[in-house]
Structures are given as C-alpha cells and as structure tokens.
A and B are shown apart, each in its own frame.
Chain A
Amino acid sequence: MKRAVPTLIAATVGFVLVIAFFIPATQSWGETAVVWFNILAGVAFILGGGNLVKVQLETISARRKGYGYAIVTLAAFFAMLAFGLLKIGVHPQAQYPLHPWAGPHDAPSSPFGWMYEYIFSPITATMFASLAFYVASAAFRAFRAKNVEAILLLGTAFLVLVGNTAIARITDALPESLAFLRLDSIVANLMTYLSTGAWRAITIGIAIGVAATSLRVLLGIDRPYLGRT
C-alpha cells in the first residue's frame, strides 16, 4: 500500500498527460491534472511556511544559539502573512467597490506592497548584486590561461564583456569593408554561431536526459516520492 499506490498515482497521471498531448479528445484530462498540480504546488508553499514556523519555534524553545534571529524571522513572517492574508490597506477594484476583499493582495499602496517594495526587493536584489564580487573574486583566483581550453574561456569572456561596453566603440572607426572586425560584430557572430552550436548540443542532451528520467519515473523504476518511508 505504501509503495504500490504512489507508484500507480505517478504512472497514471504521467501517462494521462502524455496521452492528452497526442489525443485532442483527452486534452481536458491533462488540463485538469495541471490544475491539480498547481493546487498542490500552492499547498507546498503553505507546507514550507508551516515548516519554517515549526523549525524556528523549535530553535526558540530550545534556546539554541542565534535564537534571537529566529524571533526576527517569525516576526517578519507573521507580519507579512497578516498584511497579505487580511488584505490590510487594499482598495477595492474599481468595478466592484463594495467588495474590499476583491482588490489585489499585493497592491503597492498596502502594507504588504510596502514590505515587498522596501524589504523583499532591496534585500534580494542586493544579495544577487553582491554575487558580482564573489564571481570576480573566484574568477581571479581560479582562472589561469594555462591551456587552450582556459584561453578560449577567458578570451571569450573578455571579448563579450568588452564588446558590451562603451570601449567597444573604438572599433567603430574601422571601414565598412572591415565591419566584421568590429567588436560588436565579433561578439554577435560569436554568440550566433560559435556559442549556439554548443548550447544546442547541451539542450539536446538535457532533453534526452529529462525524457529518460521521466520515463523511469512513469514506469516506476525511479520512485523519488517514496523518500525514506
């Protein structure tokens, strides 16, 4: 029961989706399965939130090191949750003014929108931005032009980086007959022809890998959903 039913569920829904692609009459089955999938994906976010609360409460109750940060996490979580769930400060939609709950929960004028604009966005953007320093630092330490492969990688990176800056304009002085030697033209050709072939091969490889893995799941050879149970 613990193994057979999940395997049957995965195989059935997977093959329904495959069949729905090939037989138009069964298309609605596939659409229903996708709606159910979206519902479960939404519930997974709630599960994630619940798990976060559980872990943080455990940290606080056990007075583990850094439990103060767990309090901050919970406070931020519940504040955002309350503002968004209760739609505090949200105006109704213009066509339904008597339904205040019909307004968008993420309206910019609401406290939820405020927290998104002034807390969520700046922190995530700065976290991604700070990776620029780590990428540069890692590249400086790791990249050494000691063989053909490394030279190709570094040379291409250098050309693409320089080709997308104002410095590339110095090659604009080249006559029209030598236009293919302009930096922007070199970078464009490099991306269109040299890089594209390799990326297509990688994409084809990924597609074959995904198809093989999917088939293994549908046939019950791989059963990742069973986990440790």
Chain B
Amino acid sequence: MSRSTMVWLVVFLLGAAGLATNLVVRPKGFGLAYVHDEPVRRVEVTVGPPIGADANEPTETKWVEAGGPELDRPNVSRTTTPEVSWIEESQVTPAKAWDEMQGDPSYRLSLKHTLGIWVAAFFTLAVLSFLWRDNPVYKFAESVIVGVSAAYWMLNAFWATLVPNLIQPLFPKFVQSWAMPGTTGEASDFWFVTLVPLTFAVMLLLRLSPKGGWIAAWPLAFVIGTTAGMKLVSHVQADFLSMLSGSVLPLYATDAQGRFELGTSIGNFVLIVGLLSVLTYFFFSVEHRGTIGKFARLGVWFLMVSFGAAFAFTVMGRITLLSERLEFLFSDWLWLIDPKGAHTAMGLLFSIR
C-alpha cells in the first residue's frame, strides 16, 4: 500500500469514526434539514368598476389568493376557471421544526435538503483537501464546478437577457403565452431592428465552426466597440473627474460653527500630498531625479501603505469566507456548535454556543 493510499485510508476511517461517535451522542441525529409546507391557492376573479362608478368602465381579470380578503369586495366575482394550488416549502431551523412538528404535519424532515447538506459538506471537504495536495477527490469537485458554473451562467444569460431582449421582441405572442405572461404580446413598430443582434449572435456562434471563425470578428468588433464607448465616457466621468473634484479639499478645514479643525486639515493635507506624489511617481515623462525623485519616492511610500491596507482587507475577506465554511461544517452539518440557536433543543450531551 502506497503512503498516499495509507493517508487517505486513515483520514476516511477517522472521519467515519467521528461521524459514528457524533451519531451516538446525538439522539436526534445531525446534518438534518426541516421544511415548512405552505399551500398556495389561487383563484381567478373579475374585478368590476367600484360601486358608484360608471358601470361601463372596463373590468379586469386577475388571480388572487383563495379565501383572501379581496374576494369579499362587492365588485369582485370569481370566474369559472378552476382553482390552482401548489405547495411552497420554506426551510426552518431544526429547533423550530421540533417544536411545531407535534401538532402540525406541515413541518417535516426534508430529504432533499438533508441530502443537500451532506453533498455540500462533501464538496467543502473535497475542496479543502487540496490544501494537503492535489488529489482525485479535489479533481472531482473541480470538474463538477466547471460544468455546473458554465451551465449556471449560460442559463442566467438565457432567461434574464436573451428571452426578454431577443426572443420576446421577435416572437411576442409566443413568449407571452409561455414565459412572460405580463407582456402585451404585441410586436413593437421597430421589432425588425432586433434582427441585427440576432444576426450578430448567429455570427458569434460560428466561432465554434472550424472554418467560419473569422466571421465572428464582426460581433466581437461590436462588443469591443461598445465596451470602448461606454468605458471612455464612464471612466472619464466617474473616475477621472470625480476623483479630481473629490480631492480639491480645504487645507484650513472648519466645522459648522466655523471653528478650525486641526485633525481634518492635517488629514486633507496628507491626502493631497499622497495623491500628487503618487501621480508624480506614475509620470514617466520626467526623469525621477532630485526633488521630483524624492517626491516620487514619497509616492511609493503612500502606495505601500495602500497596498498594505488592501492586502489586509483581502486576507480578512478570505478568513471571513473560511469561517463561514467552518461554521457550515460544524454547525449546519455536524451540529457541534450552535451559534444561531438552530438546534439547541436536541438533547445533546454537550453543546457549544
């Protein structure tokens, strides 16, 4: 048996032993998820003109909650369309579910979400296993995320961008009957303009073809031209001009009563010196020697302070993410800790809060 196989075997055995022990000390188990089922019942109604208003005013047909207060209004009447209902589930904490489950069957254990917690725990550990070194479990998780994320972004683009902006203008009636019932179903006067992005879209997809790749340069030119046009204006306005105007600060700062504020004045002076010295460092048309060189060096020091702060914030962000993942493992999955009070009523032998 190789050393690697031995290490994996030991890790798996320790993990299995740990899970078994956890199961023994927790009579209600762990890594379980509970949901609350809530029925949604909708009925179709006709809303006539308000009482006292002109009876010839148009009526409106819409769906309202069955048994809701809207049905009691005198100008509202049900149509013959049958009621439509379905069950919406929402996740609840185990503690709440245990309290409510005794007399309310709408609170139940969810196999789907329980399986989800275990799958998420597996993938979390699989990714963390890379800290030791590259391994098949990590590679499996990596392969899954490549496929899942590609499909995720593709579908977001399809439903959020392509359906309303490309398919709807070209086939308004079809899209209204299918995915966007809130639209009018009527084509706009300039619907044919949408044929241009459709043509570009087809040309872009030709990039997948071995010989038609060059034609994708047209839509790519459109994308890059649009980006250049948008960025040219937005960066000059939002970054260049606003940064300059935001840096024109008083060196003799006063409060609302007109009293001198030493701290703010020094701060403003430091900010302006920092800005000018860093800009001097970035200015390569003049040789950085003598006074210019010393001022540019001061700019480097300001840059180092900024990079240090940025580094610290990056580390803090990553540590926060790590603590969230550890909290998921130890709280949501193993129930070893309970910072949110989600499963304290489970009769633990011990519980860390």
| Residues in chain A within 8 A of chain B (CB atoms) | 2, 5-7, 9-18, 21, 32-52, 54, 66, 69-70, 72-81, 84-85, 91-92, 94-99, 101-102, 105-106, 109, 112, 114-133, 135-136, 139, 148-150, 152-161, 164, 180, 189-208, 210-211, 213-215, 217-218, 223-227, 229
- Is residue B135 contacting chain A, with contact meaning CB distance below 8 A? no
Max count, chain A CB within 10 A of own CB: residue among B65, B232, B246: B232
Ranked nearest first, the 5 interchain pairs of A and B with the lowest CB-CB distance are A197-B274, A156-B308, A17-B229, A76-B147, A10-B225
- Asked whether, in the complex, the Cβ of B309 is within 8 Å of the Cβ of A156, the reply is yes
- Known contacts: A40-B201, A75-B147. The answer to whether A214 contacts B229 by CB under 8 A is yes
Residues of B within 8 A of A226 (CB): 217
Q: Is the interface of B mostly helix, strand, loop or mixed?
A: helix
**A97→B349 CA distance, assembly (Å):** 48
Contacting chain A: which of B8-16, B23-31, B101-109, B152-160?
B152-160
- Asked whether, in the complex, the Cβ of A202 is within 8 Å of the Cβ of B278, the reply is yes
- Known contacts: A102-B181, A123-B127. The answer to whether A198 contacts B117 by CB under 8 A is no
**A23→B197 CA distance, assembly (Å):** 24
- Closest CB in chain A relative to B61 CB, distance in Å: 11
- Known contacts: A127-B127, A201-B299. The answer to whether A105 contacts B243 by CB under 8 A is no
**A200→B229 CA distance, assembly (Å):** 23
- Asked whether, in the complex, the Cβ of A195 is within 8 Å of the Cβ of B309, the reply is yes
Of the residues B141, B244, B306, B324, contact of A199 by C-beta under 8 Å? B306
- Asked whether, in the complex, the Cβ of B127 is within 8 Å of the Cβ of A126, the reply is yes
**A223→B221 CA distance, assembly (Å):** 8
- Is residue B186 contacting chain A, with contact meaning CB distance below 8 A? no
Would you mind naming 6 contact pairs between A and B with Cβ atoms under 8 Å apart?
A11-B225, A17-B229, A132-B321, A160-B313, A204-B243, A218-B225
Residues of B within 8 A of A196 (CB): 271, 274
- Known contacts: A50-B208, A81-B155. The answer to whether A210 contacts B231 by CB under 8 A is yes
- Asked whether, in the complex, the Cβ of B124 is within 8 Å of the Cβ of A14, the reply is no
- Is residue B171 contacting chain A, with contact meaning CB distance below 8 A? no
- Asked whether, in the complex, the Cβ of A156 is within 8 Å of the Cβ of B233, the reply is no
- Asked whether, in the complex, the Cβ of A95 is within 8 Å of the Cβ of B62, the reply is yes
Closest to B81 in A: A98
- Asked whether, in the complex, the Cβ of B221 is within 8 Å of the Cβ of A49, the reply is no
- Asked whether, in the complex, the Cβ of B147 is within 8 Å of the Cβ of A204, the reply is no
- Is residue B222 contacting chain A, with contact meaning CB distance below 8 A? yes
- Asked whether, in the complex, the Cβ of B204 is within 8 Å of the Cβ of A156, the reply is no
Residues of B within 8 A of A77 (CB): 146-148, 150-151
- Closest CB in chain A relative to B157 CB, distance in Å: 4
**A129→B327 CA distance, assembly (Å):** 12
- Known contacts: A10-B224, A94-B40, A120-B152. The answer to whether A160 contacts B165 by CB under 8 A is no
- Asked whether, in the complex, the Cβ of A197 is within 8 Å of the Cβ of B139, the reply is no
Query: Per-residue CB proximity of B264-283 to A under 8 Å, as 1/0?
Result: 00011011111111110010
- Asked whether, in the complex, the Cβ of B318 is within 8 Å of the Cβ of A76, the reply is no
- Known contacts: A40-B201, A126-B123. The answer to whether A198 contacts B303 by CB under 8 A is yes
**A46→B196 CA distance, assembly (Å):** 18
Q: Given A35-B197, A76-B146, A95-B182, output 16 extra A-B contacts at Cβ < 8 Å.
A: A11-B225, A42-B165, A46-B157, A49-B150, A52-B146, A102-B182, A109-B89, A128-B321, A135-B311, A153-B307, A153-B311, A156-B307, A189-B267, A197-B247, A197-B302, A210-B232
- Asked whether, in the complex, the Cβ of B306 is within 8 Å of the Cβ of A39, the reply is no
- Is residue B149 contacting chain A, with contact meaning CB distance below 8 A? yes
Residues of B within 8 A of A15 (CB): 229
- Asked whether, in the complex, the Cβ of A48 is within 8 Å of the Cβ of B229, the reply is no
Closest to B83 in A: A97
A-facing residues in B287-335 (Cβ within 8 Å): 299-309, 311-316, 318-319, 321-322, 324-325, 328
Of the residues A96, A149, A214, contact of B181 by C-beta under 8 Å? A96
